[in-house]
Amino acid sequence: SSSIRWWHSAVVYQIYPRSFLDSNGDGIGDLQGIISKLDYLKQLGVDVIWLSPIYRSPMDDNGYDISDYQDIAPEFGTLDDFDQLVAEAADKGIGIMLDLVVNHTSDAHPWFVESRRNRKNRRRDFYIWREPAPDGGPPNAMQSSFGGSAWTLNEETNQYYLHLFSTRQPDLNWENPAVRSEIYEMMNWWLARGIVGFRMDVIDHIGKQVEKDIITDGPHLHDFIQEMNKATFGRHDVVTVGEAWSATPASALVYSGKARHELSMVFQFEHVIRQWDETYGKWRPKPFDLVQLKSIFGKWQLALAHDGWNSLFWGNHDLPRAVSRYGNSEGYRVESAKMLAIVLHMLKGTPYIFQGEEIGMTNMPFTSIEQYRDVETLNMHRLHLEAGLSPEEFIRGANESGRDNARTPMQWARSPNAGFSTGTPWIEVNPNYLAINAEAAIAEDASIWHHYRSLIGLRKSHPVIIYGDYQSWLDQHPYVYVYTRTLGTDRLTVVASFKSDELIISMPSELVGKGVCLVSNYGAMNEVSATITLKPFEAFAILSN
Ligand code: TEU
Ligand code: CA
């Protein structure tokens, strides 16, 4: 059908360049490091690499603060390195997706340097400047995601500028058409270099209207995205994914509906946010609730069944490690990591793998605030301690949910620094690298890595995985996730236990019958019986027709 797109069958692998592989011993991952691992990624079978930001940046937020959109950060390499990466990846059938961070720039971007100089310059309206409140304080109560007021006073001009993230990330003024056309021009410049898509940072924020206290889903948000589509990537056969923490099934249909001409899909975070404490947010996560997770996944699967498209992910560079959050990283690390992979990769949508997930990397047991590097964690540490929290309590929360869990260096081998760098890594390596590393995983047939490789391969040979209709079963079961995918006469049945003990379940009679096991994390299961005894974290997918 004409509505089939190449990225429906793609699997995306996210690289956080700073932490992937350091080729020159300065302790920072770089583009040549990535180039040297393209064979690894080809072997794994991924189609697209999403590169977290590689542009020139003061690195206040590890590159999400850009000071030159059309150059590479010197610590990562050069534009020649980038072109080499695109070309060598393309030779291996892999496309490069760039991270487009256009809600804000760095305060070192020449636009902002000029903008803050005086009230009357051609870049003043590139950012969001407001008069102080009558008492001299911030114009309103808007808060930054990283804690504290979203406004900082510029003393020279006696106005405040808006920054929804760090003070060094001033928000661009999307209401200004000159801002939008500069950005579109920049995007076209990258598209001409042969990239296959964009991941769009906090894209739900660009329609903000501070006078109305609106941050996400502003009245012009979708006009801007449609304009961007038309002016840039709409002319290319590329994939786009918008990061939208505010997305609901209804808004996701607006972003990704076929007739909308906006984005291919969005990242939605409902399953992440619902696990957070109402007051303390992610710094005090609630116990994992499978019934809730199943209901959220199911709701999204059904809402985007006929129009729009889902993204599928357990982790990224802002989230804890999947196996630590949703599985059991102590006694059943391998089993639970494989189970999670089956659950995610058999759903309808585009799976995203965050670097290290394919070898079951875990959260990092930091013990002191000096070990963290993340601007959000460091800000929140200060604010929470001011509010009376003990350092130990803060570290407990940060080690469960903090962003640096995902940012420790990729564990390649048993060699010093896990083979990441011959120098001193910018952030400590997880000490468990002697057991958990890519070299060991590739050498072992039964590893998590080979399991991911199989799952990626299955997607290429079974259309039911890409297009089958989703239906869930045993919704109220607290430990088991059962769903089916159906396409024509093919039926895929997925059964997954989230429990660290053996478990006996009664299967719905409609699902009982013989089939072929496509993937499992214990022995092969070629039949759905009326009663199944599941081993700890056992999971399998059976195809019948
Ligand atoms: O993340 C957006 C974002 O909202 C996260 O910072 C999130 O709110 C936070 O981790 C939850 O506590 C994007 C990027 O993915 C992130 O790395 C950037 O720091 C942020 O935008 C600003 O560019
Ligand atoms: Ca380096």
Q: Which domains does the chain have, with CATH numbers?
A: 110-162 (3.90.400.10), 176-309 (3.20.20.80), 466-544 (2.60.40.1180)
> Residue 272: CB within 6 Å of ligand 1?
no
Backbone φ/ψ region at 194: left (φ over 0), alpha (ψ -120 to 50), beta: left
How would you class 469 by CB atoms within 10 Å of its CB: exposed for 0-12, middle for 13-18, buried for 19 or more? middle
To test the pocket of ligand 1, the residue of 61, 145, 208 to mutate (highest count of ligand atoms within 8 Å of its CB) is: 145
Cβ of 181: how many Cβ atoms within 10 Å? Answer: 12
- Pocket mutation for ligand 1, best pick of 104, 146, 202 (most atoms within 8 Å of C-beta): 202
Inter-CA distances, 156 with 139, 160, 176, 414, Å: 17, 11, 23, 54
Atom of ligand 1 nearest to the CA of 318: 10
Is 243 in the active site? yes
Q: What b/e sequence results for 364-380 when a residue is b if at least 16 CB atoms lie within 10 Å of its CB, and e otherwise?
A: bebeeeeebbbbbbbbb
Please tell me which residue in 61, 201, 374, 376 is annotated as part of the active site.
201
Tokens of 6: 């190449």
Cα→Cα distances 176→183, 188, 221, 224, Å: 11, 19, 13, 11
Q: What is the position in ligand 1's atom list of the atom closest to the CA of 164?
A: 22
Cβ of 64 below 6 Å from ligand 1? yes
Confidence of residue 403 (pLDDT cuts 50, 70, 90): very high
From 165, 204, 270, give the residue whose CB has the most ligand 1 atoms within 8 Å, as the site to mutate. Answer: 165
pLDDT at 395 over 90: yes
Q: Confidence class of residue 1 from pLDDT cuts 50, 70 and 90? A: very low
Ligand 1 centroid to Cα of residue 196, in Å, is 23
- How many percent of the chain have pLDDT more than 90? 97
Inform me whether the pLDDT recorded for 2 exceeds 70. no
Query: What is the position in ligand 1's atom list of the atom closest to the CA of 65?
Result: 23
Contact between 525 and 517 under an 8 Å Cβ cutoff? The reply is yes
Which residue, among 113, 92, 108, has the nearest Cα to 48 in the 3D structure?
A: 92
* Of 427, 544, 530, residue with least CA distance to 489: 544
The contacts found for 70-79 with CB under 8 angstroms, 24 or more apart, are 70/186, 70/189, 72/31, 75/26, 75/28, 75/30, 76/17, 76/18, 76/28, 76/29, 76/30, 76/31, 77/30, 77/31, 77/32, 78/31
| Predicted-complex ipTM score | 0.97
Q: What is the pLDDT of residue 69?
A: 98
Mind listing the pLDDT tens digit for each residue in 431-477?
999 999 999 999 999 999 999 999 999 999 999 999 999 999 999 99
Confirm or reject: Cβ of 202 under 6 Å from ligand 1. yes
Tell me how far the alpha carbon of residue 68 is from its chain's centroid: 23
**Ligand 1 in contact with 381 (CB < 6 A)?**
no
Distance from residue 421's CA to the centre of ligand 2 (Å): 8
pLDDT at residue 280 in the model: 84
Map 276-305 to HEC letters.
CECCCECCCCCCCCHHHHHHHHHHHHHHCC
Determine the pLDDT at residue 209. Answer: 97
Residue nearest to atom 9 of ligand 1 (CA): 318
Phi then psi dihedrals of residue 87, to 5 deg: -70, -45
Residue nearest to atom 20 of ligand 1 (CA): 64
List CB contacts of 228: < 8 A, sequence separation 6 or more. Answer: 180, 183, 184, 187
418 C-alpha to ligand 2 centroid (Å)? 15
| From 99, 243, 262, 374, the catalytic residue | 243
Mean pLDDT for the chain? 97
Active-site residue, 201 included? yes
Residue 77 CB contacts under 8 Å (≥ 6 apart), including other chains? 30, 31, 32, 54
